[in-house]
Chains A and B, each alone.
Chain A
Amino acid sequence: AQKVTQAQTEISVVEKEDVTLDCVYETRDTTYYLFWYKQPPSGELVFLIRRNSFDEQNEISGRYSWNFQKSTSSFNFTITASQVVDSAVYFCALPQTGGFKTIFGAGTRLFVKA
């Protein structure tokens, strides 16, 4: 069965600290995609990144970076120099075979204190 585990329920950091959110997945597919979404306090879901299993290069977008490691089935998300606006719930997601069903992790709530 496919599964996404976000073991960190809540993380609290002080502004300007770096923080890494973990995502561990299980899948039997040889080709798959992984996603990260952000849910700020206002409640909407915001797409952050999509990663194809063929591409193991790390991705960087401003203060955000993602480390994809197939060997450990992990797709971790790092925020460098965190800001208060980064406070949100972050979800990792794995579409299942065929792409019609998607499994989400339980989410990690990040608090960034000024």
Chain B
Amino acid sequence: EAQVTQNPRYLITVTGKKLTVTCSQNMNHEYMSWYRQDPGLGLRQIYYSMNVEVTDKGDVPEGYKVSRKEKRNFPLILESPSPNQTSLYFCASRGGGIGTQYFGPGTRLLVL
């Protein structure tokens, strides 16, 4: 089954404790992206990757890091989480061109 998976689905952490949210897709997609969803703001793009070892900032990259060492994986790293990073995070992937993005199930993060 074609899918995008994210782990963990739910996470409660404390300020400053480094965390990684994993994202993996099995569709051999070149493009992957991370979004955060906040009430009243819709989805905002954090980072995206056009291919292995090629990443770029989205609209809200501050406080986040990403890496793309393999085509299927695109982890999101919060080196020192802060309460304003409490949000619902989505990973997405798509094939070539401006096609449909396939979204993971979401990761709900609470930073205390």
Which residues of A pack against B, CB within 8 Å? 4, 6, 9, 33, 35, 37, 43-45, 47, 50, 91, 93, 95, 99-102, 104-107
Contact = CB atoms under 8 A, between A and B. Distances in A.
Q: Is the interface of B mostly helix, strand, loop or mixed?
A: strand
Contacts, number: 47
A104 B42 CA distance: 6
B27 to A, nearest CB: 14
B105 A107 contact: no
Nearest to B59: A101
B100 A47 contact: yes
Given A43-B88, A43-B106, A44-B103, A99 B98 contact: yes
Interface in B82-112: 88, 90, 97-103, 105-106
B50 interface: yes
A100 B50 CA distance: 8
Contacts of B105: 43-44
Contacts of A99: 97-98
Interface string B35-63: 10000111111001010000010110000
Contacts of B33: 102
B74 interface: no
A93 B43 CA distance: 9
